[in-house]
């Protein structure tokens, strides 16, 4: 019996009680079941009696007792206990619990996917680093978490578009172009410019593409250096992210906002909403009406738009493209953006509690990492991938909440020991694959038999309970935008599997031992674990190796 089937059975018991006149209450469309933290409390628990007691006009324990009698008659339910103020703790019989192994294997990669976020159309913007240099450690946390968050939302039924906002307008691009052109000419880096060997590489690329670059006048040369270096650096960012397993649906150019006069259009639209005013020659947005600490300038007195104006135009662009919900994942130095972005949403006529969500990722420190040889003053993402590996970086970043500062040890992440969480989980998957290979050599074939009632060992019951909890964990992690819940779940699943592996045999003990349905049924359980480990790792963008 899957959690969904148990939920339906509880709802059926409620409906039967209402139909018989024992209860008078509105039956909910869905009843939530959860796995108790203490295994002594059964396989599953529900607080539905607590939720419905007021509407039913009776004490929660009385309602729970009435339900327990009906649930006890449901096929596959071994025992029902009323606990505390009215919780229902439910224990399944071995056959019913064991059926989950077959359900998981048959569902395959779809197991864990759910529709809890169906109907949500979401734009997730993250990283959005300036295209003036390589991606570094400071960008890595949201690269891992943003991608995992998008995967979780999609797995839970949401329509998700991932987006990278390219900050390719403004003074930093002028300094970038000047730095590349100076390198091409063999001149020192301009004041306030970008140093590093990567600038020399970009200059060499520009000269290779345009050998006449140095013959151009200053304005033309600067423009051409900017165009060529920008394209090369942006491609470098895309290539490194691809190596990290991160791909964006949309690469949105900030420059396009200015080129398309989108800022002027945004100001006009916000003025129509009644939140724009003029003062001392400048154009302002009255964001203090919506909890911002001060009103914001959109257009300076000299006619130049501000970065805030581009932010407003960008928000409206997302709205116009049909994204009802917009998630911004920003760095630790962007706390001040929360209120101003929410104020933009409110000024645009949206609900800032629904239409926009701003999350801040705290800083990451990595012991043992060396500064980039190319950039000189940063720890490049490409160097981290080369040193530690994409899997270890992504998993280690995914297993902690984004809003907590994080300090990692690079050498520890490289170790192949059980103390390294990513190794521990990946090794569990590799072990399930090895069990399946060896079982096949011994003639153990799932297709030859399955008897769920044989999965009666306590370690099997514990493993099945964790497997059954996976869809709930995925749905909760998606709803809360917290990929670390999946990582911690996988570690618990790996622990349950390793314990089961040490206790229960899938293969015959000796060459002359007959292969029985017990071996075959345990192989189903092994392969179910393998599938869930693979599904969970995929949600984090981490590989599931067959051998280690």
Domains of the chain, earliest start first: 3-92 (3.30.1360.70), 121-168+247-360 (3.40.50.620), 171-243 (no CATH), 417-539 (1.10.730.10)
Return the minimum-mean-pLDDT range out of 182-186, 193-197, 482-486.
193-197
Average pLDDT estimate for 126-154: 93
Average pLDDT estimate for 395-419: 89
Q: Which residue has the higher pLDDT, 244 or 376?
A: 244
Are the C-beta atoms of residues 105 and 446 closer than 8 Å to each other? yes
pLDDT for residue 375 is more than 70: no
The whole-number pLDDT of residue 336 equals 80
The whole-number pLDDT of residue 152 equals 98
C-alpha 517/C-alpha 135 separation (Å) is: 54
- For the chain, give the percent of residues with pLDDT over 90: 61
Question: Tell me: the pLDDT tens digits for 27-83?
Answer: 888 888 887 877 777 888 889 888 888 888 888 898 888 888 888 888 888 888 888
Average pLDDT estimate for 278-289: 92
pLDDT confidence bin for 334, thresholds 50/70/90: confident
Alpha-carbon distance values, 277 to 286, 298, 452, 542 (Å): 7, 10, 71, 50
pLDDT confidence bin for 396, thresholds 50/70/90: very high
pLDDT for residue 494 is more than 80: yes
pLDDT confidence bin for 341, thresholds 50/70/90: very high
pLDDT for residue 259 is more than 80: no
pLDDT for residue 260 is more than 80: no
The whole-number pLDDT of residue 248 equals 97
The β-bridge partners of 122 are 160, 325
Closest CA to 526 of 548, 546, 505: 505
CB atoms within 10 A of CB 78: 15
pLDDT for residue 283 is more than 80: yes
Return the minimum-mean-pLDDT range out of 122-126, 286-290, 406-410.
406-410
Are the C-beta atoms of residues 187 and 193 closer than 8 Å to each other? no
The whole-number pLDDT of residue 77 equals 86
| Residues in contact with 132: Cβ distance below 8 Å, sequence separation at least 6, in sequence order | 172, 173, 175, 176, 194, 233
pLDDT for residue 148 is more than 90: yes
Mean pLDDT, the chain, integer: 91
| Residues in contact with 120: Cβ distance below 8 Å, sequence separation at least 6, in sequence order | 153, 157, 158, 159, 324, 325
Average pLDDT estimate for 511-517: 89
The whole-number pLDDT of residue 376 equals 67
The whole-number pLDDT of residue 264 equals 87
pLDDT confidence bin for 359, thresholds 50/70/90: very high
Return the minimum-mean-pLDDT range out of 62-71, 230-239, 468-477.
62-71
Give 333's DSSP letter: G
The whole-number pLDDT of residue 145 equals 95
Top mean-pLDDT range of 216-225, 400-409, 533-542? 533-542
Alpha-carbon distance values, 518 to 24, 66, 349, 521 (Å): 46, 38, 62, 5
The whole-number pLDDT of residue 371 equals 61
Does this model's pTM top 0.85? My answer is yes
The whole-number pLDDT of residue 374 equals 62
Q: Is beta strand 296-299 parallel, antiparallel or unpaired with respect to 282-285?
A: antiparallel
Determine the longest span between alpha carbons in the chain, in angstroms: 94
Residue corresponding to tokens 């779940």: 489
């Amino acid at each position: 019996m899957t959690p969904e089937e148990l939920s339906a059975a509880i709802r059926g018991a409620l409906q039967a009680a209402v139909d018989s006149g024992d209860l008078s209450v509105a039956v909910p469309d869905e009843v939530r079941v959860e796995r108790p933290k203490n295994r002594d409390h059964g396989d599953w628990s529900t607080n539905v009696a607590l939720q419905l007691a007021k509407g039913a006009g009776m004490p929660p324990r009385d309602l729970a007792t009435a339900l327990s009698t009906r649930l006890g008659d449901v096929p596959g339910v071994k025992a029902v206990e009323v606990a505390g103020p009215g919780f229902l703790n439910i224990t399944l019989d071995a056959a019913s619990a064991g059926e989950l192994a077959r359900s998981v294997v048959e569902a395959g990669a779809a197991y864990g996917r759910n529709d809890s976020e169906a109907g949500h159309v979401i734009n997730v913007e993250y990283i959005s680093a300036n295209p003036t240099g390589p991606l570094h450690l400071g960008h890595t946390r949201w690269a891992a978490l943003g991608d995992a968050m998008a995967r979780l939302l999609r797995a839970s039924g949401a329509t998700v578009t991932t987006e990278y906002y390219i900050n390719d307008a403004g003074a930093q691009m002028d300094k970038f172009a000047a730095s590349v052109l100076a390198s091409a000419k063999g001149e020192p880096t301009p004041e306030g410019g970008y140093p590093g060997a990567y600038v020399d590489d970009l200059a060499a690329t520009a000269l290779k593409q345009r050998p006449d670059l140095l013959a151009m006048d200053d304005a033309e040369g600067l423009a051409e250096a900017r165009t060529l270096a920008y394209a090369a650096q942006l491609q470098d960012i895309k290539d490194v992210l691809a190596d990290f397993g991160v791909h964006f649906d949309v690469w949105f150019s900030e420059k396009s906002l200015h080129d398309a006069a989108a800022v002027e259009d945004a100001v006009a639209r916000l003025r129509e909403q009644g939140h724009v005013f003029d003062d001392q020659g400048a154009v302002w947005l009255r964001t203090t009406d919506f909890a911002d600490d001060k009103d914001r300038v959109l257009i300076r007195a000299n006619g130049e738009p501000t970065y805030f104006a581009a932010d407003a135009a960008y928000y409206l662009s997302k709205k116009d493209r049909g994204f009802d919900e917009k998630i911004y994942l920003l760095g630790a130095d962007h706390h001040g953006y929360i209120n101003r972005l929410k104020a933009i949403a409110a000024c645009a006529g949206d609900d800032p509690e629904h239409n926009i969500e701003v999350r801040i990722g705290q800083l990451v420190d990595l012991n043992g990492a060396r500064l980039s040889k190319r950039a000189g003053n940063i720890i490049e993402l490409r160097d981290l991938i080369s040193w530690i590996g994409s899997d270890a970086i992504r998993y280690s970043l995914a297993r902690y909440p984004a809003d907590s500062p994080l300090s990692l040890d690079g050498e520890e992440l490289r170790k192949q020991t059980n103390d390294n969480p990513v190794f521990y989980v990946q090794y569990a998957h590799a072990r399930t694959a090895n069990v399946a290979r060896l079982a096949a050599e011994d003639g153990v074939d799932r297709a030859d038999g399955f008897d769920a009632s044989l999965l009666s060992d306590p370690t099997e019951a514990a493993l099945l309970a964790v497997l059954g909890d996976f869809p709930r964990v995925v749905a909760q992690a998606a709803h809360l935008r917290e990929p670390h819940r999946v990582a911690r779940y996988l570690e618990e699943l790996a622990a349950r599997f390793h314990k089961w592996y040490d206790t229960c045999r899938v293969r015959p003990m000796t060459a002359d031992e007959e292969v029985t349905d017990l071996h075959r049924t345990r192989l189903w359980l092994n392969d179910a674990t393998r599938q869930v480990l693979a599904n969970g790792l995929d949600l984090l963008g981490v590989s599931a190796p067959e051998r280690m």
